[in-house]
A and B are shown apart, each in its own frame.
Chain A
Amino acid sequence: MKKISRRHLIKGVGSLGLLTGLDSLGVFSKILRSSLMNSAIAQDASGTKKNLVTIALMGAPPRWTWDLCANKNARTNPGLFSIISTGFGGYNGFDYRTFDVGGVQYPELWKFTAPLSSGDRPIQDLIKNHLNIRGVDSGSDGHPDAAPTVLASRNGAYSIDGMLGSLSDRVLPSVLISAVTSEGGTEKFLRDAYKAPNGMGAKLISLRTSNTLHQNVETGTESPLLRLSGAFNNRDSNTPNVYGSSENLTSTFLSRRLAMTQFVDATLDAMKAEAVLKNLSTGNTYELLKKSQKTLNDGLSSSIAEFETKRLKYSKLIQDVFQRSKTNLPGITDFSEARNGSAFSNSFFNDEGKNSARLNNENKNYDLRQSLQMSEGSLRISFWAEAFATIETLLTQKLANSISVAINFPSVTGVYVGGNGLRIIHDAHNLGAIPHLVGYSLFYAVLSSCILELSVSLEASQKGLWNDTVVYVNGDFGRNPSPSQDSPAEGNGGSDHERKAQTASIFSGCINGPISVGNIDANSYGSGGTLTQVGSQKLQLIPIHVANTLATILDTEQPVRNAAESLVVKKSDGTVVLRPDVEKGKVA
């Protein structure tokens, strides 16, 4: 039976009064409607206590060292790791290992230990809260084209972050953060992807707007949080306890404002009651007004100050991960030792022959690992640190609960191939196997460490906050782990787009993981595409499956009602488990 919402009931009662035109019933209708409306507003205002953090990996970096191949039996299938096992020229036979965690095979990288602010923690700790959906057909494999479908599921459907934003009662209901270094059109992607039926405006902030952002952060003039919530920050340093001081309000006005507040508010309440009776849509605006006023009264100075502490924490974490990765990057270090030499030095390129011609002379002694010891300034790690610091502050201060961040991997300078800079970026078609393997392992070590730090910090800030928070890592399209078709003869290229290899990693304290869904097609080198048993049907997983699954975890309504049901269910204790009639992920 279809559930009748309060809003429908209110509209029904309102229509009844309008249709009958009877005064007595009209008055009754108005009273009932007003009472229900207040109740509905209260319900809406309570919003949702769940938080969604979407991390969009712009350019869709290959994910085979992280979550694309996180599957049982993956190791037994050499095709899955073709780029690693066959792309090294003379390094054929290299076995990039996986290991078992709770019945699911995870790439070796997951043995990395993260130097968190609270001490060392294995990133494996995230696996117990991991839901992995692989082989999702994004419907398109182009950069800008597929991006909105990932969040908005399909044309015409609302995005899950937008729908959550509609329920939000936070100061900043939805925040979109563009934290990429150079990707054009990311802001447009975020705006296009964000769709909400009744959502309050999503606030977009681009960390890219200033190349000297880090310095500006320290002066406090360009703090992302200040830019996001600056409207509420109108206290000056001399009178931090009085809101409005930055508008140079006179002392007479301030004292009179205090004395008259209750009468101004009472009149606004009378106007609100009138608005509710006349028009359902304007009543809620008074609630927004009240919240704005309250936030102005309370102030955000402490939140803004807290952001800076968090930024420094993530900045240090990222640099420490880089430092640790130099000597201990699981899967990579083992490989290096097994070959009795360095897989990262120029000898690799030269000795193996295939790559030597591609290096300029001045870079013969180049060690890739050295380049990966990125300084904060040169590689703009500040983008990442600021993005995660912004996320943590917004969540712990309860300023927002729908946050989407677009990030990418900065270029590594200093290596030249054929006169052109070798760029370890997300969308690297012909990068070569080793840079791929090393670069992306490091990339995911950083990402995993930041997510783990976030989860630990949220839980430390408030018990249960990690349970109420969902981190959803997607990309703007899928990527095939088979060698690039652009340079098949060399067999050492990067990898190409693959629309059926979209992967969605979802982390939350409420997920009883690891859960792996979605099959990998070994014959097409892990491009996905095989059908998954969902209920009574065998289906190709699509972004709507992901969106509806997220809706279940977030306790919100599904963005699409008539297709692609959620793959998980919630138990009575709130934990998320795989639906019993959904097939576990496997390699076909």
Chain B
Amino acid sequence: MLRKEKWLNMKPKFYFYSLFVSSLFVFLNSSCTSQLNVKTKSIRPLVSPQKSEHPDAVEIAPPQMDRISTANFLNSRFGGQSSAITQKLILPFSSDFGGRCDPKTNPNLGCDESEASALAQSKLNLTRFALTLRACEGILGSSDGDNAVRNAGKLALGINTDLPTMGKNEINAAWNLFFPGKTISKTVENSFLTLVSQSKEQTKSMSANDQILDQWRFTFLTLCKSPEWINLQ
């Protein structure tokens, strides 16, 4: 009885393994010849796409936000006075951020001769990063910085009340504001937790409200400084 029970207990596992192996076999066969894998979202091809040997084929970097989308990205997250900062530090620099001038739709962007000939997409350059760093610090560190922190925090959490102290959930929410749809890795999450705990440690003498704002501010500052959110892919 015991043996039978054991056998019976094993049976589903056996069935499972059989099913898995046969599915794998079907998948391996179908991945090249049928469209099964197209419909199965989680299945990845085992053979990477062949590299193009065409003489005109080139390797490209991921497309990046141009000056207008960069400014919009920051304005939409931080609100308040951020548009004044991006108007000064992002929008005029078409050659660094890319983004042609369209006098019809953007008459206020100073469509001069140099902008008209600006590249639609600019290659990565140090100037672009310097301007973005300055914009991030200007938005979060000027006299209107507290409002920018509150606006972005509330947007991240989807709340209309005061910001809570930061923990894992809040870090993930802030992350999603800059990298929607992309999961934060454990290592990076831990690094943000360290940053927040340091902020807590250093701001003990501040009011509770300022302590919380400080945690959010430096979390957003780090995210804003990180160069990856400008990638469109």
**Which residues of A approach B to under 8 Å, CB–CB?**
15, 18-19, 21, 171-173, 187-188, 191, 196-201, 203-204, 206, 209, 229, 231-232, 234, 244, 247-250, 253-254, 256-257, 259-260, 263-264, 266-271, 273-275, 281-282, 285-286, 288-289, 291-293, 295-296
Contacts and interface: CB of A to CB of B under 8 A. Distances in A.
Interface in B203-222: 214, 217-218, 221-222
B187 A270 contact: yes
Contact of A291 (B126, B137, B199): B126
Contacts of B140: 253
Contacts of B225: 264, 268, 289
B137 A201 contact: no
In the A-B complex, list the 4 residue pairs whose CB atoms are closest, starting with the nearest.
Answer: A253-B141, A292-B129, A247-B138, A270-B191
Given A209-B113, A295-B126, 4 more contacts: A266-B195, A282-B62, A282-B227, A285-B228
A82 to B, nearest CB: 41
B122 to A, nearest CB: 5
B44 to A, nearest CB: 9
B228 A282 contact: yes
A198 B47 CA distance: 27
A204 B114 contact: yes
18 contacts: A15-B48, A172-B126, A187-B117, A198-B61, A201-B95, A204-B114, A247-B85, A247-B134, A247-B138, A250-B145, A256-B217, A256-B218, A270-B191, A285-B227, A285-B228, A291-B126, A296-B130, A296-B133
Nearest to A254: B141
B126 A244 contact: no
A26 to B, nearest CB: 13
A295 B46 CA distance: 45
Tell me if B's interface is mostly helix, strand, loop or mixed. Answer: helix
Contact of A19 (B47, B119, B126): B47
A292 B133 contact: yes
B231 interface: yes
Contacts of A256: 202, 214, 217-218
Contacts of A291: 126, 129
A250 B113 CA distance: 36
B96 A201 contact: yes
A150 B185 CA distance: 49
B93 interface: yes
A204 B115 CA distance: 11
B48 A18 contact: yes
Contacts of A231: 93, 96, 127, 130-131, 134
A289 B133 CA distance: 9
Contacts of B194: 263, 266-267
Contact of A268 (B46, B217, B222): B222
B228 A264 contact: no
Contacts of A18: 48
Contact of B143 (A173, A206, A232, A248): A248
A199 B142 CA distance: 34
Contact of B188 (A232, A253, A271): A271
Contacts of B142: 247-250, 253
A475 B123 CA distance: 27
Nearest to A270: B191
A153 B166 CA distance: 57
A525 B156 CA distance: 75
B169 interface: no
Interface in B109-157: 113-114, 117, 119, 122-131, 133-134, 137-138, 140-143, 145
Contact of A188 (B117, B122, B143, B214): B117
B143 A263 contact: no
Contacts of A264: 195, 218, 221-222, 225
A185 to B, nearest CB: 10
A268 B46 CA distance: 32
B30 interface: no
Contacts of B221: 264
A260 B195 contact: yes
A200 B138 CA distance: 25
A294 to B, nearest CB: 10
Nearest to B46: A21
Given A201-B124, A273-B187, A232 B130 contact: yes
Nearest to B233: A279
A84 to B, nearest CB: 40
